[in-house]
Amino acid sequence: MAKFELKLPKMGESVAEATITNWLKNVGESIAADEAVLEIATDKVDSEVPSEVSGTLVEILFQVDDVVKVGQTIAIIETEGGAVETPKIADVAAPIVAAVEKTIEVAKETVVPADFSTSDKFFSPLVKNIAKEEGVSIAELESISGSGKEGRVTKEDIIKYVGSRKLGAGSQPSQSSQPNTQDPKPNTQTVQTTTSKAQPVSVNGGDEIVEMDRMRKLISGYMMASVQTSAHVQSFIEVDVTNIVKWRDKVKTAFEKREGEKLTYTPIFMEAVAKAIKDFPGMNISVDGDYIIKRKNINLGMAAALPNGNLIVPVIKNADQLNLVGMAKAVNDLGNRAKLGKLKPDDTQGGTYTVTNVGTFGSVFGTPIINQPQVGILALGAIRKVPAVIETPEGDFIGIRQKMFLSHSYDHRVVDGALGGSFVKRVAEYLEAFDANREY
């Protein structure tokens, strides 16, 4: 017999940890190679961790709701045959875990329960546990300037804060960057805004109280953070897509027969957006403090509604390099896997611009919230038959046309009206110039 260490696999370029949500196997049960052993959740998607070997599960090292780092051993599987060599990452992590536990034990007598349901921010279970053990209030926790992705408070941030508080620093938040010595007022205003609580809601006898699920809490935090971060501005434009509608009606049956894929409008719109971004690379950027990051790749996020009503944004990588067939395959693959809950964490990472189809639910147009740290998002309205003025050499006349609205939300901190308006106009021009006789 040999023992195999099942480790949390690498799940994407920017995914460093995950939360265990469910063990699918119990100690003593047999496991086949490639069979799922447990379910995990990152800040974007839920996924399963399969076993690389066949054997028997003999030890579970982490429990449900524990946060595990990529590469950490999470279970031991007993296999037949020779020893299976695996790096002793758990040994490397042991001193770090011991240090955290020691820090927690020192202040056991000062423990004050914290109600995290009153906060709009997202905190990992590990950070919450440390905060509870250390008696860190929700107001103090929200005041900490996080060094993690999108400003999140990491384990190191809260440990540093607790240490500074014990040394007499009081309630001063830890800083991940140098403080602004010119004008301290904005920081005070930010804390006051963040820690303000919503008015209590009255509950009647017939009302039902249901707690948000994990993903809805995350979405709520993302949306609030985006509104507080970006100066949202919208531009709207109406587009004549009659040629696109006629072309799709003409080729969709042959397209599905030849490619084995359904042809929706989404890949056509995505193709136009990718072209427009190449023309206006100022929309393919991110903001990091006082710096602008110009993205090299054009990675288009496509907002998708899940069966449970939640939202997820899988990403089409290098969208500008795909032809229409490739775009259709990418859109269908990500859309289908999103509905089935089969997206991998890497499928939702690295987006540089997002498109959301509000027309799917009959909306004519919308004002979408920017997907941070991007600076723009385009909403596609419903396609409608409308009477329109048609200009011809013989004069103007009224005809029936297929039209839709494009709604462009952009971050006015770095995108002015000229760029935001010109970009959405270019998307419209590509759509209206669509060749009804083109080959796919």
Token pair, residue 339, equals 């509905």
Q: Is 321 helix (H, G, I), strand (E, B) or coil?
A: helix
Q: Is 403 helix (H, G, I), strand (E, B) or coil?
A: strand
Q: Which of 66, 232, 333, 412 is catalytic?
A: 412
360, amino acid identity: T
3-state helix, strand, coil in the chain (%, to 5): 35, 25, 40
Q: HSE, CB side, 13 Å, CA atoms: give it for residue 327.
A: 25
For every residue of 139-197, which 3-state class applies, written as one string? HHHHHCCCCCHHHCCCHHHHHHHHHHHHHHHCCCCCCCCCCCCCCCHHHHHHHHHHHCC
416 part of the active site: yes
Q: Which of 183, 240, 416, 435 is catalytic?
A: 416
The DSSP element (H or E) to which 424 belongs, if any, is: helix 417-432
- Is there a contact between 57 and 11 (Cβ–Cβ < 8 Å)? no
Closest CA to 52 of 74, 22, 27: 74
66 part of the active site: no
- Is there a contact between 8 and 72 (Cβ–Cβ < 8 Å)? yes
The Cα 251–Cα 257 span in angstroms is 10
Active site residues: 412, 416
